Structure 1
Amino acid sequence: MNTHNVNTAAQEPSERWGKRLMARFRSAVDEAEFNAACGEESHRHYGVKFSAFDNVWYLFQGFKNGLLRPRQVPADKTTHHENGKR
């Protein structure tokens, strides 16, 4: 009888690295979209024309900030669980 449980097997380091990279990338894209939306809203509020260059600029700035921002752990998540594993 095979007692190896696939669900509890440790992930390869490359799989963990890839998941972290994709999570960071998704976070940067979300930040870029949010930054562009805020820029558009502020242009509309102050009556300034929002050009395509402005859109690209805000997207780039948001993406850069999303990549460089330190990773934050959500308040409802802890680093140690009851069983001692992360």
Structure 2
Amino acid sequence: MAEALESSVPEVGGYAIDEVTGDVGRIEEITAVYVLLGPIGGGQSWQAEPGHVRPVTVGERLSAGVKVANVRMFDPREVGGGWT
């Protein structure tokens, strides 16, 4: 059975996946030419073509959040990260 999508149409503030890169991001802006996505956990936003962006599944959203948490925990260069 296919996993349910977070919503049927991505909108600003929601989460989407860039099918070209496989990265999940929060939608910051939508135009006819591009969708501006901001990475979960912060960082440099990127532009994706609207035809290559789709809503995330609940699993994809959770997986992206866990990935960010793991990096912050184990990478001492991240704010609050690393073993002290």
Please identify the structure whose Cα radius of gyration is greater: 1
Q: Which has the higher strand share?
A: 2
Instruction: Report the TM-score, using the length of structure 1 for normalisation.
Output: 0.31
Q: Which has the higher helix share?
A: 1
- Between the two structures, name the one with larger relative contact order (CA 8 Å, sep ≥ 6): 1
